[in-house]
Amino acid sequence: MASFIFKRIAATLAVLFFATLIAFLLLRVSPGDPARQVLGPQASPEAVERLRGEMGLNDSLPKQYVTYITDIAKGDLGMSWRTRIPVKDELENRVPATVELGLYAIVISVALAIPMGVLAAASRRWIDRLSRWLAVIGLGTPPFWLGLALILIFFTWLNVAPPPFGRLSEGFPVPPKVTGLLTVDSLLAGDFPTFFNALSHLALPAITLGLPLAAYLSRIMRRSTADVFRLDFIRTARAKGASERRIMFRHAMPNALLPVLTLSALYFGELLAGSLLVEAVFGWPGVGGYVSESVLAQDFAPVQGAILLGAFTYSILNLGADLLYGVVDPRIRTDKT
């Protein structure tokens, strides 16, 4: 077991290393001058050159990378030259908004995927075909287009959704910070109007993020349920006279849920890293909006910090899933290999 854990931790560290390296190189080989972006087109060449020196852009790439890694080891993610605020402070303020959005998106996707997958596996062919077409549509719809369509329908036409800006409407107080998740903090404070308002702001972006994942997980659930139905213990339960309802909910679903729940944990990391466009569409004050503004301004530090955060989150979730598999199923442990 110790060897199993060591190898998984080593793989996680390798992922983080390559994430920092790729982010560092891609940003620095991209066209444009970050110092010029910060100072504007009217700045003198002397001022631009002076700022380049302050930003360390005149150093060689290996020296810049060593400085970057050294700062990370100290817990320093750098400072945004666009806002003049440390990246660490900005991420601390914005991560709760992205985490809350990702959590609700995961809940929506799992809540839709499980019944869709079970019905597709246990029902007639036309239901299976319908779920397959819905999955294809869900996977093929760009999230930013879906978000714009939902805003047009529910905010512009029907006027039942709040404006797509921020986490709370004007006039609603921000609850005392405990977790940073507004829906949780408002419940802890007993402020139900704020809770429902925060929930209404979450609805459309969470649906936009959750529907494509629900389409994918529904096919996984369908395949997993169909595989479980072929196992001997299901035939034994039928031979004993158990009803199809009991077989489904008592025997089949608990076993079929395992891959779906595992993938949901892994895709939660991807949602945190991949919500950039959705946050930009809905004006959501999370990490994605921060990164999109920084990319346009060629502000290196926030983009590097966000990429590192996404890689770290995904790696930790992946490591947790691997370790959990090692505990549940001893066959995959690698002590003897």
pLDDT at 40 (0 to 100): 82
Other Cβ atoms within 10 Å of 204 Cβ, number: 22
**Cβ–Cβ under 8 Å, residues 261 and 111:** no
Name the nearest CA neighbour of 279 among 214, 205, 168: 205
Say yes or no to pLDDT of 175 above 50: yes
Question: How does pLDDT run across 189-216, given as a tens digit for each residue?
Answer: 999 999 999 999 999 999 999 998 898 8
Q: What is the dihedral of CA 233, 234, 236, 237, to 10 degrees?
A: 120
pLDDT at 4 (0 to 100): 62
Say yes or no to pLDDT of 30 above 80: no
Q: Which residues pair with 86 in a beta bridge?
A: 79
pLDDT at 270 (0 to 100): 67
The three-class DSSP label of residue 266 is helix
Name the nearest CA neighbour of 211 among 130, 105, 314: 105
Instruction: Return the axis-axis angle of helices 143-150 and 192-229, rounded to nearest 10°.
Output: 130
Question: How does pLDDT run across 320-334, given as a tens digit for each residue?
Answer: 766 665 554 454 554
Write out the DSSP string of 31-71: SS-HHHHHH-TTS-HHHHHHHHHHHTTTS-HHHHHHHHHHH
pLDDT at 75 (0 to 100): 87
106: number of CA atoms within 13 Å, CB side? 19
pLDDT at 154 (0 to 100): 95
Q: Which of 107-121, 125-139, 200-214 has the lowest mean pLDDT?
A: 125-139
Question: 299: exposed, middle or buried (C-beta count within 10 Å: 0-12, 13-18, 19+)?
Answer: buried
* 74-101 residues labelled b (16+ CB within 10 A) or e (exposed): eeebbbbbbbeebbeebbeebbbbbbbb
Per-residue confidence at 274, pLDDT binned at 50, 70, 90?
low
Q: Which of 181-190, 254-263, 264-273 has the lowest mean pLDDT?
A: 264-273
Question: How does pLDDT run across 143-165, given as a tens digit for each residue?
Answer: 889 999 999 999 999 999 999 88
Summarize the confidence of residues 56-71 as an average pLDDT: 89
Question: 174: exposed, middle or buried (C-beta count within 10 Å: 0-12, 13-18, 19+)?
Answer: middle
